[in-house]
C-alpha cells in the first residue's frame, strides 16, 4: 500500500512533462485555440523578429481564422535537458489544413523547429521558438 502511495506522489520526469506540453501545443493548434497555444508560452516568450507572447497568440488566431481545420504532423521530438529548469526541444513539423491533407501555407513546406523551454512554478513553457524551412 505504501509503494502505491509513493508511486502516486512521484513527480513526472522532466522529459515526459515537456513531451506532454508539446502534445498540448499540438492539440491546441488542432483544436484551433489561440488562447491554449498562448498558455504553453512563457511570459518572457520571444519568437522570430522579436515576436512576443501576444504576437504569437495573434499570429495563431489569424491562422485559425483562415483555416477551418488544422492538423500538425510532427517527426521525432528530441528533448535536451540543461540543468533542472531549462531544455531545448528539436523536431520537424508540417501543418495541414482544409479538407484532406493540404499543407499550410499554400506552398508545401515542412519546418525544422527549435524551442527553448523553462520550468517555472512547476510547469514547462516555451521561452523561445524558431523555425526554418526544410525545403527551399
Grid coordinates given for 23: 502534445
The C-alpha cell of 43 is what?
Answer: 511570459
Please write the tens of the pLDDT for every residue from 17-40.
999 999 999 999 999 999 999 999
Residue 95 lies in a domain: yes
1 located within any domain: no
Global pTM reads 0.82
Q: Structural domain tally of the chain?
A: 1
Residue 117 lies in a domain: yes
At 2, is the pLDDT very low, low, confident or very high (cuts 50, 70, 90)?
very low
Share of the chain above pLDDT 90, in %: 65
Say which CATH number the domain at 60 has.
Answer: 3.10.450.50
Is 86 a residue whose pLDDT tops 90? yes
5 located within any domain: no
Domain residues for the domain of 54 are 12-133
Neighbour count for residue 120 (Cβ, 10 Å): 13
pLDDT grade for 112, boundaries at 50, 70 and 90 = very high
Question: In 10 A of CB 83, how many CB atoms?
Answer: 8
Residue with cell string 497555444: 37
What is residue 71's predicted lDDT score, i.e. its pLDDT? 84
In a domain, residue 106? The reply is yes
Q: Residue 54 falls within a domain, yes or no? A: yes
In a domain, 80, yes or no: yes
Average pLDDT over residues 52-60: 94
Worst-scoring range by mean pLDDT, 57-66, 71-80, 88-97, 105-114? 105-114
- As a whole number of angstroms, the distance between CA 25 and CA 101 comes to 19
Mean pLDDT lowest among 62-71, 84-93, 118-127: 62-71
Amino acid at each position: 500500500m505504501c509503494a502505491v502511495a509513493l508511486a502516486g506522489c512521484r513527480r513526472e520526469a522532466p522529459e515526459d512533462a515537456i513531451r506532454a506540453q508539446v502534445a498540448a501545443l499540438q492539440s491546441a493548434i488542432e483544436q484551433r485555440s489561440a488562447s491554449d497555444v498562448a498558455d504553453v508560452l512563457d511570459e518572457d516568450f520571444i519568437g522570430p523578429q522579436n515576436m512576443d507572447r501576444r504576437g504569437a497568440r495573434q499570429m495563431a488566431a489569424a491562422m485559425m481564422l483562415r483555416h477551418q481545420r488544422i492538423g500538425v504532423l510532427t517527426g521525432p521530438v528530441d528533448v535536451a535537458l540543461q540543468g533542472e529548469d531549462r531544455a531545448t526541444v528539436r523536431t520537424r513539423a508540417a501543418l495541414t489544413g482544409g479538407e484532406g491533407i493540404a499543407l499550410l501555407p499554400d506552398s508545401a513546406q515542412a519546418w525544422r523547429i527549435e524551442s527553448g523551454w523553462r520550468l517555472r512554478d512547476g510547469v514547462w513553457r516555451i521561452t523561445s521558438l524558431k523555425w526554418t524551412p526544410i525545403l527551399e
